[in-house]
Structure 1
Amino acid sequence: MHGMDLTTTWVGWLDLVVFIVAYLLVATEEKYEINKAKPALFAGTFMFMMIGVYYALNHLDPAPLHEEMTKLIEEIAEIYFFLFVAMTYIETLIERGVFDALKFKLVSKGYSYKKLFWLTGLLAFFISPVADNLTTALILSTVLFTIDKTNRPFLVAGAINIVVAANAGGAWSPFGDITTLMAWTAGKGEFVDFLYLFVPSIAGWLLTAWLLSFYVPKGEPHFDAKTEFKPVIKDGGMAVVWLGAFTIFIAVVGHQFFHFPAMWGMMFGLSLLKLYSYSLAKRKHRTGFDVFVNMKKVENDTLLFFFGILSAVGALHYLGYLHYIHHLYDLLGATTANVGVGFISAIIDNVPVMSAILKSSPAMGTDQWMLVTMTAGIGGSLISFGSAAGVGVMGRLRGIYTFGSHIRLAWTVLAGYILSIALWYVQFEILGLY
Structure 2
Amino acid sequence: MQTLLITMAGIAFLLIVLEDVVHINKAKTTLFLGTLAWILLFLFPQHGADAAMVQEQLNENILEIASLWLFLMAAMTFVAFLNHQGLIETLIYKVLPRRLSERKLMFLVAGFAFFFSSLSDNITATLISIALVLSLRMEVKKTVRFAVLVVFAVNSGGVALITGDVTTLMIFMQHKVEIDDLLWLSLPALTSVLLLATLLSLKLKGEVEIIPSPRRDDRVGKMIAMIFLLTIFSTIILNVIAGVPPLLTFLFGLSIMFLVGRLCYEEDERESLLDYIRVIEFDTLLFFLGILLLVGMMKEIGVLDSLVRVYEVMPTTAANYVMGLLSSLVDNVPLTAALLKSEIAMSTASWLTLTYAVGVGGSLLVIGSAAGIVAMSKVEAITFISFMRYSGLILIAYSVGFAGSYLVGQMLHS
Which TM class, normalised by the smaller chain length? over 0.9
Structure 1 distance, partners of 2:239, 2:63, is: 15
Residue identity over aligned pairs, in percent, reads 31
- Matched AA of 1:238: K
**Aligned counterparts, 1:375-394, within 5 A:** 375-394=357-376
Q: Does structure 1 residue 64 correspond to structure 2 residue 53?
A: yes
Q: Which residue of structure 1 lines up, in the alignment, with residue 385 of structure 2?
A: 404
Q: Which residue of structure 2 lines up, in the alignment, with residue 74 of structure 1?
A: 63
Q: Which residue of structure 2 lines up, in the alignment, with residue 198 of structure 1?
A: 186
Indicate if the aligned counterparts of 2:188 and 2:402 stay in contact, CA closer than 8 A: yes
Structure 1 distance, partners of 2:155, 2:130, is: 14
Alignment counterpart, residue 264 of structure 2, candidates 280, 296, 313: 280
1:156, CA displacement in angstroms? 0.9
Indicate if the aligned counterparts of 1:113 and 1:154 stay in contact, CA closer than 8 A: no
1:233, CA displacement in angstroms? 4.7
- Matched AA of 2:12: A
- Matched AA of 2:120: A
1:152, CA displacement in angstroms? 1.2
Q: Which residue of structure 1 lines up, in the alignment, with residue 202 of structure 2?
A: 214
- Matched AA of 1:405: S
Q: Which residue of structure 1 lines up, in the alignment, with residue 153 of structure 2?
A: 165
Q: Does structure 1 residue 17 correspond to structure 2 residue 1?
A: no
Q: Which residue of structure 2 lines up, in the alignment, with residue 130 of structure 1?
A: 119
Alignment counterpart, residue 240 of structure 1, candidates 224, 245, 258: 224
Q: Which moved more, 1:192-201 or 1:105-114?
A: 105-114
**Aligned counterparts, 1:98-109, within 5 A:** 98-105=87-94, 109=98
Structure 1 distance, partners of 2:316, 2:360, is: 18
1:78, CA displacement in angstroms? 1.6
For structure 2, list consecutive stretches of 5 or more residues without a partner in the other structure.
none
Structure 2 distance, partners of 1:245, 1:190, is: 28
Q: Does structure 1 residue 49 correspond to structure 2 residue 29?
A: no
Give the secondary structure class of the aligned counterpart of 2:313.
helix
Alignment counterpart, residue 370 of structure 1, candidates 352, 355, 361: 352
1:306, CA displacement in angstroms? 1.1
Indicate if the aligned counterparts of 1:93 and 1:241 stay in contact, CA closer than 8 A: yes
1:216, CA displacement in angstroms? 3.0
What is the aligned residue count?
A: 414
Structure 2 distance, partners of 1:187, 1:252, is: 20
Calculate the TM-score normalised by the size of structure 1.
0.89
Structure 1 distance, partners of 2:268, 2:37, is: 51
Report Cα offsets for 1:275-309 as digits up to 9, x if no partner: 11122137xx8988722211111111111111111
1:69, CA displacement in angstroms? 0.9
- Matched AA of 1:213: S
Q: Indicate how the Cα distance of structure 1 residues 59 and 327 shifts in structure 2: closer, same or farther if over 3 A, else same.
A: closer
Indicate if the aligned counterparts of 2:189 and 2:401 stay in contact, CA closer than 8 A: yes
Structure 2 distance, partners of 1:379, 1:241, is: 32
Indicate if the aligned counterparts of 2:349 and 2:406 stay in contact, CA closer than 8 A: no
Calculate the TM-score normalised by the size of structure 2.
0.93
Indicate if the aligned counterparts of 1:103 and 1:147 stay in contact, CA closer than 8 A: no
- Matched AA of 2:183: L
Q: Indicate how the Cα distance of structure 1 residues 243 and 326 shifts in structure 2: closer, same or farther if over 3 A, else same.
A: same
Structure 2 distance, partners of 1:266, 1:88, is: 11
Q: Which residue of structure 2 lines up, in the alignment, with residue 28 of structure 1?
A: 18
Q: Indicate how the Cα distance of structure 1 residues 60 and 182 shifts in structure 2: closer, same or farther if over 3 A, else same.
A: closer
Q: Which residue of structure 2 lines up, in the alignment, with residue 5 of structure 1?
A: none
Structure 2 distance, partners of 1:22, 1:281, is: 44
Q: Indicate how the Cα distance of structure 1 residues 44 and 395 shifts in structure 2: closer, same or farther if over 3 A, else same.
A: same
Indicate if the aligned counterparts of 1:107 and 1:147 stay in contact, CA closer than 8 A: no
Structure 1 distance, partners of 2:335, 2:48, is: 31
Q: Which residue of structure 2 lines up, in the alignment, with residue 432 of structure 1?
A: 412
1:219, CA displacement in angstroms? 2.8
- Matched AA of 1:94: N
- Matched AA of 2:295: V
1:433, CA displacement in angstroms? 5.9
Report Cα offsets for 1:131-167 as digits up to 9, x if no partner: 122211111111111111x501210110011111111
Indicate if the aligned counterparts of 1:93 and 1:99 stay in contact, CA closer than 8 A: yes
Structure 2 distance, partners of 1:377, 1:361, is: 19
1:229, CA displacement in angstroms? 4.2
1:50, CA displacement in angstroms? 0.5
- Matched AA of 1:97: G
Give the secondary structure class of the aligned counterpart of 1:94.
helix
Structure 2 distance, partners of 1:291, 1:329, is: 51
Give the secondary structure class of the aligned counterpart of 1:424.
helix
Q: Indicate how the Cα distance of structure 1 residues 231 and 411 shifts in structure 2: closer, same or farther if over 3 A, else same.
A: same
Report Cα offsets for 1:44-73 as digits up to 9, x if no partner: 1111111111139x9952222111111111
Q: Which residue of structure 2 lines up, in the alignment, with residue 4 of structure 1?
A: none
Q: Indicate how the Cα distance of structure 1 residues 158 and 289 shifts in structure 2: closer, same or farther if over 3 A, else same.
A: farther
Give the secondary structure class of the aligned counterpart of 1:401.
coil
Q: Which residue of structure 2 lines up, in the alignment, with residue 257 of structure 1?
A: 241
1:360, CA displacement in angstroms? 2.3
Indicate if the aligned counterparts of 1:382 and 1:414 stay in contact, CA closer than 8 A: yes
Q: Which residue of structure 2 lines up, in the alignment, with residue 145 of structure 1?
A: 134
Give the secondary structure class of the aligned counterpart of 1:171.
coil
Over the residues paired in the alignment, what is the CA RMSD in angstroms? 2.3
